[in-house]
Amino acid sequence: MPVGYTQLPELLPVAGVRLASVAAGVRYAERNDMVVMELAEHSQCAAVFTRNAFCAAPVIVARQHLQQTAPRYFLINSGNANAGTGVPGLAAARRCCVALAEVAACNAVEVLPFSTGVIGEQLPVERMEAVMGPALQQLSAQGWSEAAHAIMTTDTVAKGLSRTIRLEDHSLTVTGMVKGAGMIRPDMATMLAYIATDAKLDRDVLQQLLEQAVEGSFNRITVDGDTSTNDACVLVATGAAGNAPLRPGSEAYDIFAAVIGDVCRQLAQLIVRDAEGASKFVTVNVRGGRDREECLQVAYTVAHSPLVKTAMFASDPNWGRILAAVGRAGLEQLQIDSIRMYLGEVCIVRDGGVDPDYREQDGQQVMSRDEIHLRIELGRGDAAEQLWTSDLSHEYVRINAEYRS
């Protein structure tokens, strides 16, 4: 069960977006595993993709199509990543786009493909082609919830949220869904994330807004330190709300950008809350660095330490593991006497060693919580950063050992 999250809330329709979920039998039996997402004409789309050199075939094709024109459809499948599949994989991704375009009466470049699942297996295109017609017949503005379930792989729950705000006499809706539970250190976005709004924004402004939001959200989570071959995060603006285009520098834009940032942050955190086998949601906050980069360097070293993560799973206040991780993070001229470390509100390290007032039972109380806040004060500057991670459990090993079974 995800930490602090029980079930998918109501996902509000976004004017100009319709979705359908169908069972194509890509990998799973008797469950929906393919989603078609239709965007109204003149919608704007921004996207960021994985930086993994072995990026999946759909990532390559989606990038190419997005450079040529604004998309009208997204085609998403779960159960098969179509990654590590070479030239046949690229041909399969393009064939899927052509097949949907023929049924939808649009150009193939107006279709963006997305896949998630097992790497190294060829995509069963024929099964997907067989249900594209029925999928288009089922398109509905109410289809968000079904789609959030259909894109799941090792996720234990569907993940998404909606927000509404009123700006300049217009009511604006933002709805997003995300999937991902393992192979998570996005380094750009996350496994798969789709966010849509009926607000009107120009394409370049939308791209700038997405990149800014991703940096403080999806680029600040890690489950296991592995960047997927298929990561993609997409932001769509249909303009159906009828507002004047939101532009940087205006108060309305700043308010809207804050909402998008918050939606991305909460979606990113849902991934960590539903991390494979996780029982803890951990915030790692590093302050007092010379710059943001070294704060992240320390934060990721701590978050990726198997010893720290297993101590979190055991609710063991073994603060020596945290101290060791900070010490090996690679910061030059690190003055250990200036560092302070906290578990929640409890100071565990100061002046180069254990805090004289620290008591094991106080640390134990913090570590027994489902949500743990770890703060590290470097004492060498004014920069600060934080990220979110999970513990490392027996269940994580089982899930990944049996993933292809």
Per-residue pLDDT tens over the stretch 115-129: 999 999 999 999 999
Q: What is the pTM of this model?
A: 0.96
The two structure tokens encoding residue 164: 């509404």
In eight-state DSSP terms, residue 92 is H
pLDDT tens sequence across 249-281: 999 999 999 999 999 999 999 999 999 999 999
Average pLDDT estimate for 50-74: 97
For residue 170, is pLDDT > 80? yes
Q: Average of pLDDT values for 237-253? A: 96
> How far is Cα 201 from Cα 379, in angstroms, rounded to an integer?
42
Give the model's confidence band at 168: pLDDT under 50 very low, under 70 low, under 90 confident, else very high: confident
**How does strand 371-377 pair with strand 281-289?**
parallel
Among this protein's residues, is 164 annotated catalytic? no
**Which one is catalytic: 190, 222, 227, 238?**
190
- Residue 190: the pLDDT is 67
pLDDT band at 6 (very low <50, low <70, confident <90, very high): confident
Residue ranges, comma separated, of all CATH 3.60.70.12 domains in the chain are: 17-273
Percent with pLDDT over 90 in the chain: 94
Q: What is the mean pLDDT of the chain?
A: 96
- Flag whether pLDDT at 62 surpasses 90: yes
Asked if 188 contacts 46 with a C-beta cutoff of 8 angstroms, the reply is no
**Residue 29 pLDDT > 90:** no
State the span(s) of the chain assigned CATH 3.10.20.340: 281-401
Spatial separation of the C-alpha atoms in residues 389 and 300, rounded to whole Å:
9
Q: How many whole angstroms separate alpha carbon 154 and alpha carbon 252?
A: 39
Work out the angle between the directed axes of helices 306-313 and 319-327 (0-180°, nearest 10). 160
pLDDT over threshold 90, residue 404? no
At residue 186 the predicted structure's pLDDT band, cuts being 50, 70 and 90, is confident
Considering the four listed CATH numbers 3.30.420.40, 3.10.129.10, 3.60.70.12, 3.40.50.2300, the one that applies to the domain covering 17-273 is 3.60.70.12
CATH of 281-401, one of 3.60.15.10, 3.90.870.40, 3.30.930.10, 3.10.20.340: 3.10.20.340
Question: Is residue 401 predicted with pLDDT exceeding 70?
Answer: yes
Tell me the mean pLDDT in the region 57-62: 98
Q: Which pLDDT value is given to residue 191?
A: 80
pLDDT of residue 405: 62
In contact, 172 and 165? CB cutoff 8 Å: yes
